[in-house]
Every structure is written in structure tokens, then in C-alpha cells.
Amino acid sequence: MWYIFSTNFVLKGVITEINTVTIEHHFYECDVVNLVIPYTQEVYETLKIGDVIHQGKGKKGYRVHTLEISEIERTIFVGAYGVEGILNQRIISKPFEMNANMKQILYTLIQQNLGSGASSNRRIDSLLLPTIVDEGENISVSYYGENLYTVISELSKQLGMSVKFDFNPYPEYASDGTILTPANINLSFHIGQDLTTGNSEHPPIIWKANWGDTRDELLFLSQKHYKNAVYLKSGDETPIQVEVNESSGLTGWDRFEMFSDAVDIRKGIDETTTLTDQQVRKLLESRGKLELFRNYKLDDFTFILNEDIPQVFQKDFFVGDFVTVVNEKFGITRHSRIVTVIETIIQEKSQTQVKFED
């Protein structure tokens, strides 16, 4: 059963019949859910683009972005992103420069573009931000005009941490009926556990050849669109140019270059704001890191498991955990992070697709 809420937490209706559910749990990226439900006039008139669908207290909320009606099959397809998809609706609209640990930078970026630090037309009033404790080494970043979701994803990957928004439509009440905590959207950070064989007495080995119950076995080692060096040029009359590399010592066959004409980055931001050459260089360097993030080297592999495996998702293992993956037949053992889990339920039969990344 899925509940339909407006973004201001008003319960609009309930989806009781479902043909197919696919939920993609991502560690670094926005979560995704797709539903195929029987067409009814009630659901058609209730469910709208922008509504939030939710499975109940303690479950995640997803904001609807697509509704498609199939007249032949008499179904409605519902596509939705995790509520953290709101990050993709914002850009960093003012020059942002900060020297702090990455978690503090993440917090400040969200606070200034969605929280209390944002202008009234950009603010999400129900967003609750946690108290941040200084931890980790400081880094220096500069951003302007970048998509907030891309920046948050890139910093999250560097930090090895997931950033999620929890949709909580149910207020918490005191014994006398007063509201302790109103309905809210809560920013949360998640760091996976290390459950590999070297760190756990009984590690949850996700896949093993001798179980004999693996429906499909897929191993991908991909380097699509891999780039590790980028040259950038500002939009000034006399352009400022910088080079950003994934790491030092990239030469010869190991070097994959690209170019970014960053014409939107220039010393004259507007009539009242002029940046120094050094500030422009910092913005170009940050843009270069984002370009490399969009074209980073993929080294991942995926297994599709049936519902009979001993481990249970969200009980024995979670997205973000490091686990041991074994193929005894080919002598492969990997200790890898789970970056995506896709649950598919069709007519009460479930299949779990687990994606790992080295």
C-alpha cells in the first residue's frame, strides 16, 4: 500500500492495488521508484505530478515526476524520485567559497540553497538540518552556477557518504496532545558498515557460486566515457585557463583528456560583483573536478539474485555497506561497496539486483 501526500504533508489518497514495483536504492545518487498500477478513476483524479508517494511511517518518500496511462493495458505508470531529488531543482546561484571539512560544506550548500539561508522563493520551510560536528580534514572549494545535485553527489563520493532527505508526514505528539515535532523533511547522512570477511565474524557474503540459486550472473568492468584530465577556459575577453587532473603523473597511454569552455565563469559576475583572477581560477578548478566526476572511471559489477538467498536486504546488508563477494568457481573474491540495490516485485515474486563498486 502506498499513500499519496502533497508536499505540505496533506494525505490525498491511497494506492491499494499494484501490478509491479521497482525500487532503486542508490548510495551516492537519488533513489528511484517505478510503479505500474491498475487504472482507476479515483487514482487518476488524485495522483498528480509533484505529489509524494510513501509506504508508511519509517519508509522513504518519493516525489512523482511521470504519470503515463496505457489505454490498452488499463494501467498507470508512476515514476518518482527520492525527495532528495529537490537538489536537482537548484543551482548554486551566488559565488560560494568555503574552507572546511566536506560534511560541513555539504551542510552549508544545502542550508544556503534550500534551508533557512535561501531566499523565500527557494526555501523549503519544512526542511530540518542536523547539527554538524567538525570532523575530517578541511578542503577549499569554490562554486558558482553549478547544479546543486551534481556538486552534492561529487562531494558525497569523495567523502564515501550518502546524503538523503527523509519524508516524515507524521507529527510527533506529547502525551497531552501538543506537537513535539511537526511533519518535516529531514536531511540525513549515511556511512555504510564494513562487513567484509576481515572485519566481521559472520560476513554477509552476497553471492557465492555454490549456492546454485543465482538467477543470473553479470560481471561488468566498464570504462565508458572515462576522462582524467580537463582543460578549462573562462569567459573573459582575455580567458583564464587552468588544467585539472584526476591525479598527478598521468602521461602517455594513461591520459584521457577533455576540454570545457566555461564561458559562464568570468571575472564580471554582474554589475556589482567582480572576481579576482585567483577566485576565477578556483571556480574553474571546481568546475574541472565536476567535469571529471561526470566522466569518472567505472569499475563496477552486478549480480541479479532471486528471493531465496540467505541474506535479506535492509536486515543483513544495506546500500553503502562494504561486503565480501565470492565466486568460488572462478576464484574471484572482492571486498566492495554496495552502491545500488534494485528491488523488483512482480505478482508477489521478488528479484534483487545488487550493484557493487570497487
Residue type, 211: W
Return the pLDDT at 336. 82
- pLDDT higher than 90, residue 137: no
pLDDT in tens, 228-239: 899 999 999 999
pLDDT in tens, 142-182: 999 999 999 999 899 888 899 999 999 999 999 998 999 99
Q: Do residues 99 and 85 make contact, with C-beta atoms less than 8 angstroms apart?
A: no
Return the pLDDT at 27. 93
Highest mean pLDDT among 108-112, 132-136, 291-295, 347-351: 108-112
What are the boundaries of each domain within the chain? Answer: 2-83, 87-190, 209-222+299-357, 229-294
Confidence of residue 302 (pLDDT cuts 50, 70, 90): low
Confidence of residue 217 (pLDDT cuts 50, 70, 90): very low
Please give the mean pLDDT across all residues of the chain.
85
Confidence of residue 201 (pLDDT cuts 50, 70, 90): low
pLDDT in tens, 237-262: 999 999 999 887 778 888 888 898 99
Q: What is the mean pLDDT of residues 104-130?
A: 93
| pTM of the full structure | 0.83
Return the pLDDT at 298. 58
State which H helix or E strand residue 21 sits in.
Answer: strand 20-26
Return the pLDDT at 198. 72
pLDDT in tens, 10-20: 999 999 999 99
Structural fold of domain 87-190: Phage tail protein beta-alpha-beta fold (3.55.50)
CA 260 from centre of chain: 25
- pLDDT higher than 60, residue 224: no
- pLDDT higher than 60, residue 215: no
Return the pLDDT at 90. 96
Please give the Cα distance from 22 to 66 (Å, whole number).
14
Buried b / exposed e across 273-303, counting CB within 10 Å, b at 16+?
eebeeebbbbbbbbbbbbbbbebbeeebbbb
- pLDDT higher than 50, residue 218: no
